[in-house]
Amino acid sequence: MTTDQAQRYCENVTKQSGSNFVHSFAFLSPSRREAMYAVYAFCQEVDDLVDHPDPGVDCQKKLNAWRVQLASIYTGMPSFPVAVGLARHVKTFDIPLEYFEELINGVEMDLTIRRYATFTDLYQYCYRVASVAGLICIRVFGTQSPHATEYAVNLGLAFQLTNILRDVGVDAKRDRIYLPQEDLMRFGYHERDVFANTTSLAFQKLMEFQAQRAHEYYTKAQAALPPEDRKALLVAEMMRRVYLHILRRVEKDPSRVFQERVRVSSPLKALLAVQTCLKIMLQQAITLACQKPRCLKLL
C-alpha cells in the first residue's frame, strides 16, 4: 500500500467513526490534519480490537501484532494500512514510540480488568488511553510551552472521566464498571444497581461526585493552558467545549446514561467551534495590544 493510499484509509476510518473530534480537524493545516487522521485511525483500530472484536479473534494476539507494527513504523517497514499512514507523521512531528506503546497498554487493560477498586487505579487507565493521546496530539498541534504537557494530561483525564459517566449504561452491558468501587461503597450504590439501571438518590449523589471530579480536571487543564499556545491548542479547546457540554447534560439528568448515549448535535458542535475560535482570536488580539506600548518603549 502506498503512503497516499494509507492516508486515505486513515481519513476514511476517522470520518466513519462519527467521533466528536473529527469536525474540529478542519481547523488544522493540511499537514497537521492528515497527521491527526492517522493518529485517530490508530486509536480507533486498537480500541475496536478490544471493544468490538470480530468473532473468533484473539485480541491479545492482535494487540501484540500492533506492537510489532509500531516498532516497524520507526524503522520504515510497516505493513498495516494505518501504520503505513502513521510512519511519515511520527517523523515529521517527532512523536515518541513510547506514547503509542503506552496507549496500547491502556487498551490492553480492558482485556482483563472490568472493575477498578480505587480512583488511583482508574487514573492509570485514564492516563494511558486519554492523556497519552493528548500528549501525541500536542506534538501534532505544534505547542511550544512545556506547560502544554500538563494541559494535555489533565484535559485527557477530564475527557475520559466524561466518557465514563456518559457510558455507564453501555459499559454495564459489557460487564464493565469504571466507576471506582470505593465510590460505589461510599454512596451505597451497588453493582447490582448498575446492572438494574437503578436511578436512586444514591445514584444521583454518586454521579454528582464523579462529575465534580471531571470538572476539577477541566479546571486544572485551563489553569495550565499556556497563553502562547492558545492558537496551537484551538482544536483541543473546541473539544473541551463539546465535552463540557456532554458532562453538563449528564449532570442535568444522570438517568439518561441508562437510556441513550448523550451526544452533541453537529450544528451545536459547529457553533461551539466558532465561539471557541472567536474567543481565542480575541484573546490574542488583546495580548498583542497590551504588548505594543512595551515594544514602543524599547524602540
Question: Mind listing the pLDDT tens digit for each residue in 176-231?
Answer: 999 999 999 999 999 999 999 999 999 999 999 999 999 999 999 999 999 999 99
pLDDT attached to residue 295: 47
Radius of gyration of the chain (CA): 20
For the stretch 30-54, pLDDT in tens is 999 999 999 999 999 999 999 988 8
What average pLDDT does range 136-146 have in this prediction? 97
For the stretch 5-31, pLDDT in tens is 999 999 999 999 877 788 889 999 999
Cβ contact 58:27 at 8 Å:
no
Residues in the chain: 299
Q: What percent of the chain clears pLDDT 90, i.e. is strictly above it?
A: 80
pLDDT attached to residue 19: 77
Distance CA 107, CA 26 (A): 27
How is residue 160 written as a grid cell?
475520559
pLDDT attached to residue 294: 52
Q: What percent of the chain clears pLDDT 70, i.e. is strictly above it?
A: 96
Cβ contact 174:113 at 8 Å:
no
β-sheet bridge partners, residue 115: 177
Q: Where are the domains of the chain?
A: 1-94, 113-288
| Residue 288 confidence (pLDDT) above 80 | no
| Residue 134 confidence (pLDDT) above 50 | yes
Distance CA 188, CA 198 (A): 12
> To the nearest whole number, what is the mean pLDDT of the chain?
93
Max Cα separation, the chain? 72
β-sheet bridge partners, residue 177: 115
Q: What is the CATH number of domain 113-288?
A: 1.10.600.10
| Residue 173 confidence (pLDDT) above 70 | yes
Cα dihedral 173, 179, 183, 189, rounded to 10, equals -20
| Residue 299 confidence (pLDDT) above 80 | no
For the stretch 221-242, pLDDT in tens is 999 999 999 999 999 999 999 9
pTM of the model: 0.92
How is residue 46 written as a grid cell?
486498537
